[in-house]
């Protein structure tokens, strides 16, 4: 049984930004250190791909289907999360909202209903960020405003000058969080991994 | 912002290629049918005796991330695919996946389908 308080780590971002891959890295790191981690995943579709993938990695997973945890199934979500945190069995509970989630709405619900100690990691797709900021600006700005830490993912596919302009684009959205360019698929450097956890 | 999802499950009695290749072919064929600026992603899995494969892709631009365990040596294979995109209708996504599956992939890959269902 962990002595520290269970921390709820929310890994959020748009569809295809790299959330599930990051969660696998983080959950494996936690379990490798001898602590226990649980995962709550809200699948966007009706085929449980993420749940199967995470379960196959040996992690305890609770899946929430048939709606988004920021709105239509928020009650189920809060109840599930409350049970995991209340069990005091886990050092970390990782939450992956669907890539469609409205971040401010989600975090307001978590604050109002649960009062859980939250750590909010935003994963941004560096390749598609300019397009996303044009096509879905309110959604993206809401995500950026809420973050405690921002990972600008897929940096290996971005030119150096473009990386600077992308960070500028993020900073225009008024945030207080540090921004780290990364390639989640290639792995997270140890120093940053410690900061994320 | 409106999002649509479309998902299918397939039961195959035989898959003529390695399941990771099947998933890649299907997702690549979907990618060719989407508008180049479409925003969303696709996820898929295949499960067979002795292993499984997971695939994910934003489809635009095309590139697929695959995680594979085990080696397919023939026989039954279950497949699940889901598409989630912003600003496209469910019917459009259904047409994308159906077109990709029917016209390009399943026959060419030598797959024998027992059941194909929308979920």
Which is more confidently placed, A71 or B85?
B85
* CB contact (8 A) between residue B58 and residue A56: no
Chain B interface includes A15 (CB < 8 A): yes
**Confidence (pLDDT) at A2:** 44
Provide the CA B96 distance to its chain's centre, in angstroms: 11
**Confidence (pLDDT) at B114:** 92
Chain B interface includes A70 (CB < 8 A): no
Name the 3-class secondary structure at A66: coil
Residues 6 or more apart in contact with residue A159 via CB below 8 angstroms: none
Q: Say if residue B77's pLDDT is above 90.
A: yes
Task: List B7's β-bridge partners, or say none.
Answer: B82
Name the 3-class secondary structure at A176: coil
What integer is the mean pLDDT of B25-46? 95
Name the helix (H) or strand (E) containing B51.
strand B51-57
User: What part of B 10-39 touches A (C-beta under 8 Å)?
Assistant: 37, 39
**Confidence (pLDDT) at A1:** 46
d(CA A55, CA A57): 5
Query: Model pTM greater than 0.90?
Result: yes
- Asked, as a colleague might, if the bond just before B61 is cis with ω within 30 of 0, I would say yes
Under a CB-based contact definition with an 8 Å cutoff, are residues A120 and A107 in contact? yes
- Tell me the pLDDT band of B42, cut-offs 50, 70 and 90: very high
Residues 6 or more apart in contact with residue B5 via CB below 8 angstroms: A44, A45, A46, B82, B83, B84, B90, B93
What integer is the mean pLDDT of B32-40? 95
B87/chain A closest Cα distance in angstroms: 10
Whether the CA torsion A181, A186, A191, A197 is positive or negative: it is positive
B3/chain A closest Cα distance in angstroms: 7
Which among A57, A41, A24, A16 is positioned nearest to A196, based on CA atoms?
A24
* Helical residues (DSSP H) of A33-136, grouped into ranges: 49-56, 74-87, 103-113, 129-135
d(CA A173, CA A7): 27
Task: List A10's β-bridge partners, or say none.
Answer: A95, A120
Chain B interface includes A96 (CB < 8 A): no
Chain A interface includes B117 (CB < 8 A): no
Q: Which among B6, B82, B87 is the nearest to A49, CB-wise?
A: B82
**Range from A158-167, B53-62, B101-110 carrying the lowest mean pLDDT:** B101-110
Which is more confidently placed, A67 or B57?
B57
Under a CB-based contact definition with an 8 Å cutoff, are residues B105 and B27 in contact? no
What are the average pLDDT values for consecutive 10-residue runs of chain A, which has 197 residues? Answer: 76 96 90 91 86 87 83 85 92 93 92 86 95 94 94 91 88 85 91 87
**Confidence (pLDDT) at A3:** 53
């Amino acid at each position: 049984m962990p002595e520290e308080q269970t921390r709820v780590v929310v890994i959020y971002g748009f569809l295809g930004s790299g959330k599930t891959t990051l969660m696998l890295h983080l959950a494996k790191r936690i379990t490798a250190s001898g602590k226990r981690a649980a995962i709550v995943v809200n699948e966007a579709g009706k085929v449980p791909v993420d749940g199967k993938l995470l379960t196959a990695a040996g992690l305890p997973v609770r899946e929430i289907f048939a709606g988004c945890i920021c709105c239509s199934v928020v009650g189920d979500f809060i109840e599930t999360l409350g049970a995991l945190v209340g069990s005091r069995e886990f050092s970390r509970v990782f939450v992956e909202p669907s890539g469609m989630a409205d971040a401010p709405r989600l975090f307001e619900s978590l604050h109002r209903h649960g009062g859980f100690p939250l750590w909010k990691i935003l994963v941004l797709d560096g390749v598609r960020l300019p397009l996303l900021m044009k096509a879905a600006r309110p959604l993206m700005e809401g995500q950026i405003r809420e973050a405690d830490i921002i990972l600008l993912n897929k940096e290996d596919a971005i030119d150096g000058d473009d990386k600077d302009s992308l960070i500028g684009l993020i900073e225009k959205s008024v945030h207080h969080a540090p921004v780290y360019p990364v390639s989640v698929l290639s792995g997270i450097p140890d120093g940053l991994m410690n900061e994320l956890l | 912002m409106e999002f649509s999802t479309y998902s299918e499950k397939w039961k195959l009695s035989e898959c003529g290629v390695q399941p990771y290749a099947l998933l890649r072919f299907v997702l690549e064929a979907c990618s060719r049918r989407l508008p180049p600026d479409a925003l969303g992603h696709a996820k898929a899995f295949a499960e067979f005796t002795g292993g499984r494969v997971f695939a994910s892709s934003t489809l635009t631009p095309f590139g697929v991330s695959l995680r594979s365990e085990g080696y397919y040596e023939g026989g039954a294979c279950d497949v699940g695919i889901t598409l989630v995109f912003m600003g496209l209708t469910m019917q459009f996504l259904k047409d994308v996946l159906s077109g990709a599956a029917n016209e390009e992939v399943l026959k060419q890959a030598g797959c024998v389908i027992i059941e194909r269902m929308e979920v």
